[in-house]
Every structure is written in structure tokens, then in C-alpha cells.
Amino acid sequence: MAGGVAPRPFFCDAKFMKIFHASLTREFAGSEMYCASLAAAQAAEGDEVRVVVKGTRNQGTEGTKDSRIARWKREIGGAELVVVPWWVPSFADSWAIGKMMQGFEPDVVHTHLGQADKKAGKAAKRYKFPWVTTVHLRWKNEVMRGADAAICIAGWQKNEIMNSSYKGFLRTVWNWLPKQNVAASKDVDALRAAWGCTAKTVVFGSVGRLHGQKGMDILIKAFMAAYPDPETDVRLVIVGEGADRVKLEAIVGPERRVILAGYMPEMAPVYEALDVYVSASRYEPFGLTILEAMAHGRQLVCTRTEGPSEFLQEASAKGLVMWAERGNVESLAAVMRVAQVQGRGSVSYDLRPFAIARAVKEIAEVYAEVVRK
């Protein structure tokens, strides 16, 4: 077993697959990590894997403002990264990607998010390569309907698609937990000190894009409503960047206990420095950062959104999740007060359903289905 990945399915014994992943977004978030970690696991398994992404004018290296390409290179392991140059006009992306496919001759093309579905999916159909799309967000019939197979990351998506006119192969494959680094205690202590914490401070935290979907504005308002007394020994740390930063800074105002930490390249110390992880999303297809927080034993406060309501059912039944209503400041504030009273302490979750070995095997079965057809 290579890298913790499951043995190859019976239909791949005679031949390793050539897999062509495409992700043409201009950021690196949960969907991009899904693509990168999947490609790395498949390459570790012995498949020949190529990942195509779109470059930017300032692609950057590690430590610069835009280190997206460097992040891709680091996360895809033994897979090959191919960058469509930034100067290739958008209308020519599909043509360029099609030429890359012809030179690679993949067994399957796997696309991730809208631009990849639209451009790489179109190229796959043109050159008659089997095309699989992952539904990272919601089904978009106009760009996804041509796919030979669609992988849903949660069951609620499959239910939506079954009500559409889509006729391709459809399967739900739950998301998985990417490899987690081990945090050094000195790094954890340094972070908490930087946030002005004492040994007794309860630190709430959330990780994600600063975008309305993630509900960071609701989270900040709920924190301030729950703890109006500035002497209460609590902190709220939000890690991530996005278009809503200025808006969120205005909400925070002079409140020093709320920290907009920005992008942080190493997340293990962050999760370890938190006491309670909060997902305040208005809409959440799955919730990869919730899995990461669970891997680090954090208490969970989540809004009742699509993905978490599904994959946290078992943990919820054991009383390991505290729920708030989405978009509701008062509901979230009340739950955060309960979480703060419980104080610091590690929680043990059953993470076996989120093993990448399981997901890689199930995705290989989807590939086999479209190749057979």
C-alpha cells in the first residue's frame, strides 16, 4: 500500500491509468485542495497524473503575495503540474488545454469547478476522452451536462441532480481529510501569545475565504453579541483572505479581541492554538476545514448547512457538535456562549469515514465505469 492509499481495484491490475485533472480557478481553497490531494494520492498509487492550472501574471514563489502555483507544486506530490500561461487569452484556453490532452492521451479527464468544466470539458468532448466532473458546489447544467460521470461530494447534491435532465453516471463520494502536519508546541504557544491569550483564554476560530458565503460577518457579530464585556477572556481568530476584508474590518472596529489573521501558509499550529472551531457559513457544500479542525481535536460549532448537516450526523448524535441556525446572529451567539463555558479541551472524533484511501478507490470505480462505456 503506497502512501496509505488502498490497493488498486481489480480493473486496473493490468494497466495504470493516465489521469488529466483540470482546475482553472485563480485561488487555492477547498476545491483546489481536493484536486491536488487526489492527484497526489493517485500518483503515489502509480497512475500517471497531470494537473493543468491557469497561470497569473505574478505566479509567485513561496513567501510572496501570490504563491498559488508554488502551493500547487507542493500539494500534488508526484503528479506533474502544467500551467496554461497567463498571457493565453481566455477564449483560447480550451484550444490550449485540448492540445495538452492530445499530447498526453489520458484515459480520463477530471474537471474541477466551472471554468474547467466549460473549457477542459469541452476539449475532452472534442477529442473523445472520457470526462468526469466533481460537483464541488452546485450542479450547473449548462456546463456539466456533457460529462460522462459526475461525482458529488455529498448526498444532497445527488438528490438535486436527479431532479435535472442529466443522464450520465452519478455517484456520491464523500470528501476526505488531507494529510495533516504535526504542530510544534513552541509554534502553538507563539501564536496564542501573539493573539494576547493567557493560559485560560478560550479562542474561537474559523478558516475560509472572506466572502459572504462563509458567514464571517455573522460570526463577528455573534462573537461581539455573546461577549460585550471587553474584559471577558476570549478571542476570535479568522484565517483567510478575500473581497470582504474591508467590510469585516469595519464590523470589527476597535474590538481588539477579534483578529483577522489573513492568509497563513502553515495551518497545523493555527488549529492547535484554537479551542473551538466555528463554521458560520450561509452555504457549505461539504466543509473541508471542519474535517481539519476535527483532526486536531477542536470543539465544533456549526451552522446547519448542507454538507455539515450530512457528514456530521454521527458526531452530532454523540453530542460532539453544537449547532446554530445559519445567518442568525442570536442563535450563533447563544451557542458560542455554551461552547465558551465548556472551556479548553480536546475532542476525539471518528475520522475513518474520511480516509483518502476510501475516496481514491471509489473515484477509481467511477473512472472504470466511464472507460467501460
The Cα 189–Cα 43 span in angstroms is 36
Which residues have C-beta within 8 Å of that of residue 198, sequence separation ≥ 6? 233
Residue 13's pLDDT band, with cuts at 50, 70 and 90, is very low
Query: For residues 362 and 41, is the Cβ–Cβ distance under 8 A?
Result: no
State the alpha helices, DSSP H only, in 76-152: 93-104, 114-126, 141-144
Full-model pTM:
0.85
Does residue 313 carry a pLDDT above 90? Answer: yes
Query: For residues 333 and 222, is the Cβ–Cβ distance under 8 A?
Result: yes
What digits encode the pLDDT tens for the residues 106-124?
999 999 999 999 999 999 9
State mean pLDDT over 339-363: 90
Does residue 1 carry a pLDDT above 90? Answer: no
User: Shortest CA distance to 328 belongs to which of 222, 208, 182?
Assistant: 222
Which residues have C-beta within 8 Å of that of residue 22, sequence separation ≥ 6? 51, 52, 53, 97, 109, 110, 111, 112, 116, 119, 120
pLDDT at position 258 is 98
Residue 364 phi/psi, 5° resolution?
-60, -35
Sort strands 276-279 and 258-262 into parallel, antiparallel or unpaired.
unpaired
Supply 287's cell numbers: 466543509
Does residue 207 carry a pLDDT above 80? Answer: yes
Question: At what angle are helices 30-45 and 288-295 packed, to 10 degrees?
Answer: 70
State mean pLDDT over 250-262: 97
Query: For residues 262 and 115, is the Cβ–Cβ distance under 8 A?
Result: no
Residue 18's pLDDT band, with cuts at 50, 70 and 90, is very high
User: Shortest CA distance to 194 belongs to which of 279, 256, 252, 266?
Assistant: 256
The C-alpha cell 451557542 sits at 335
User: Shortest CA distance to 339 belongs to which of 274, 252, 250, 267?
Assistant: 274
The Cα 100–Cα 270 span in angstroms is 39
DSSP string of 21-37, one letter each residue? EEE--SS-SHHHHHHHH
Cα 241 from chain centroid (whole Å): 15
Which domains are assigned to the chain? 10-176+355-372 (3.40.50.2000), 185-353 (3.40.50.2000)
pLDDT at position 169 is 95
- Beta-carbon-side half-sphere exposure of residue 219 (alpha carbons within 13 Å): 32
What digits encode the pLDDT tens for the residues 148-193?
999 999 999 998 898 788 989 999 999 999 888 888 999 999 999 9
Query: For residues 219 and 254, is the Cβ–Cβ distance under 8 A?
Result: no
Query: For residues 292 and 179, is the Cβ–Cβ distance under 8 A?
Result: no
pLDDT at position 180 is 84
pLDDT at position 5 is 44
